[in-house]
């Protein structure tokens, strides 16, 4: 008895032959990829990850022994998402790294179309300069380098200084819109005294006859920790507690009320001791830097649940649309940043706040 031809196998073979035939014309069948192209909900290769500072710090300090800041240009350990190997990305849209500068060093001046933010993690007394003005770094300070502005870093401190760099590198790469230039001198000339910028724009006031100097980017380039921390402490005392976030404030561009950079939003939040936040998810994956306190970030749910027991100076990343629940053993302060302004400008941003 001979086997009957299988009609399904015949159809499949016919289609495969067809796909082969059109391939050399650079054509491909949409119907084979439609589901993956238009997922029912975000399906990111980005995964949750936790970088413990006590495990990472010795390697960062070792980098300080094997290469100078001048030689490296920027001596940084990239926080590479394990799901995005080799892409210098912590999420699909964002880059993050920890930068080390040692006493007496200079990271030479350059500029690029990528926007950067800094969050000071350890040490004090290093400076960053933007367009002729320096700001001295203190732990917890939030600092911006607007796109296409000259910037260099240096240190007159007595000890190593480490900060978190957040850049929109993958976004600029996606748009193929990257340009960069090196300055002719390593350190730019200081043309304005420190604090000038904060006096002009940081007191809920602004100069009368002058456009904001960096267009859509905040004219403030350093948001000192002491002021942001005091605002959170005051709100906590007043009982302004959110069941998901604790007390959370967004850094703003005072000229627009929007995010401090066109591509990145940044936040600072306080979780009171023994706070047990409700779970939520948002389409903007977020990078967290722990400033104060020990707590737990619970990511995902059921069998896929992960618990990150965090300590000061730890970093962790929450992928897009992943459930997150924050718990504080003692009073905690967390900094975070994400690509929310881009998602809001493109009407993509969503969040879900869950009860349990
Ligand atoms: C950069 O310019 C800095 O200025 C840090 O400190 C990290 C990563 C990639 C490209 C440029 C900085 C960077 C960077």
User: 108 CA distance to ligand 1 centroid (A)?
Assistant: 11
Q: Is 151 exposed, middle or buried (0-12, 13-18, 19+ CB in 10 A)?
A: buried
Question: What number does the ligand 1 atom closest to the CA of 107 have?
Answer: 6
Tens digits of residue pLDDT in 232-246: 999 999 988 999 999
% of residues, the chain, pLDDT over 90: 96
In a domain, 16, yes or no: no
Closest CA to 344 of 298, 277, 283, 273: 283
Residue 211 has pLDDT above 60, yes or no: yes
Q: Bridge partners of 193?
A: none
Tens digits of residue pLDDT in 4-44: 778 899 999 999 999 999 999 999 999 999 999 999 999 99
In a domain, 8, yes or no: no
Counted domains in the chain: 1
User: 151 CA distance to ligand 1 centroid (A)?
Assistant: 10
Dist. CA 152–CA 166, nearest whole Å: 16
In a domain, 30, yes or no: no
User: 72 CA distance to ligand 1 centroid (A)?
Assistant: 11
In a domain, 198, yes or no: yes
The mean pLDDT of 112-119, rounded to a whole number, is 98
Q: How far is CA 196 from CA 118, 166, 219, 238, 263, in A?
A: 19, 24, 11, 32, 25
Ligand 1: which of 116, 178, 180 to mutate, judged by most atoms within 8 Å of the beta carbon? 116
Q: Which protein residues are within 6 Å of ligand 1, measured from CB?
A: 74, 76, 97, 99, 116, 151, 153, 165, 167, 169
Residue 2 has pLDDT above 90, yes or no: no
In a domain, 90, yes or no: yes
% of residues, the chain, pLDDT over 70: 99
What residues have CB less than 8 Å from 124, skipping those under 6 apart? Answer: 136, 137, 138, 139, 157, 161
In a domain, 84, yes or no: yes
Residue 1 has pLDDT above 80, yes or no: no
Indicate which residue's Cα is closest to atom 6 of ligand 1.
74
Indicate which residue's Cα is closest to atom 3 of ligand 1.
74
In a domain, 13, yes or no: no
Indicate which residue's Cα is closest to atom 13 of ligand 1.
74
User: 261 CA distance to ligand 1 centroid (A)?
Assistant: 16
Q: What is the pLDDT of residue 5?
A: 79
Structure tokens belonging to residue 187: 């350190």
Q: Provide the CATH number for the domain around residue 149.
A: 2.60.120.10
Domain of 206, in residue numbers: 49-353
In a domain, 37, yes or no: no
Tens digits of residue pLDDT in 60-83: 999 999 999 999 999 999 999 999
What residues have CB less than 8 Å from 39, skipping those under 6 apart? Answer: none
Ligand 1: which of 69, 111, 167 to mutate, judged by most atoms within 8 Å of the beta carbon? 167
């Amino acid at each position: 008895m001979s086997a009957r031809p299988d009609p399904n196998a015949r159809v499949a073979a016919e289609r495969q032959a067809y796909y082969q035939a059109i391939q050399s014309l650079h054509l491909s069948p949409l119907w084979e990829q439609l589901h993956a192209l238009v997922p029912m909900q975000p399906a990111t290769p980005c995964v949750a990850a936790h970088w413990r500072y006590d495990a990472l710090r010795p390697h960062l300090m070792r980098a300080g022994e094997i290469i100078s800041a001048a030689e490296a240009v920027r001596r940084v350990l990239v926080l590479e998402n394990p799901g995005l190997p080799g892409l210098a990305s912590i999420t699909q849209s964002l880059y993050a790294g920890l930068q080390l500068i040692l006493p007496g060093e200079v990271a030479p001046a350059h500029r690029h179309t990528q926007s950067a933010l800094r969050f000071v993690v350890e040490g004090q007394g290093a400076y960053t300069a933007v367009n002729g003005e320096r700001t001295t770094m203190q732990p917890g300070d939030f600092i911006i380098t607007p796109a296409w502005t000259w910037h260099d870093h240096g240190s007159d401190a007595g000890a190593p200084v480490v900060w978190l760099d957040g850049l929109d590198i993958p976004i600029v790469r996606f748009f193929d819109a990257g340009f960069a230039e090196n300055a002719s001198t390593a350190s730019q000339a200081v043309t304005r005294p420190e604090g000038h910028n904060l006096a002009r724009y940081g007191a809920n006031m602004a100069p009368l006859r002058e456009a904001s100097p960096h267009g859509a980017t905040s004219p403030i380039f350093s948001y000192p920790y002491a002021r942001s921390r005091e605002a959170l402490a005051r709100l906590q005392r007043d009982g302004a507690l959110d069941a998901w976030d604790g007390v959370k404030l967004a850094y703003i561009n005072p000229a627009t009320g929007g995010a401090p950079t066109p591509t990145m939003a940044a936040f600072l939040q306080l979780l009171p001791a023994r706070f047990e936040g409700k779970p939520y998810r948002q389409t903007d994956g977020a990078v967290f830097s722990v400033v104060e306190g020990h707590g737990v970030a619970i990511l995902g749910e059921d069998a896929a649940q992960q618990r990150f027991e965090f300590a000061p100076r730890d970093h962790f990343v929450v992928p897009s649309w992943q459930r997150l629940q924050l718990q504080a053993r003692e009073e905690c302060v967390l900094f975070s940043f994400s690509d929310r302004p881009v998602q809001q400008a493109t009407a993509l941003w969503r969040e879900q706040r869950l009860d349990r």
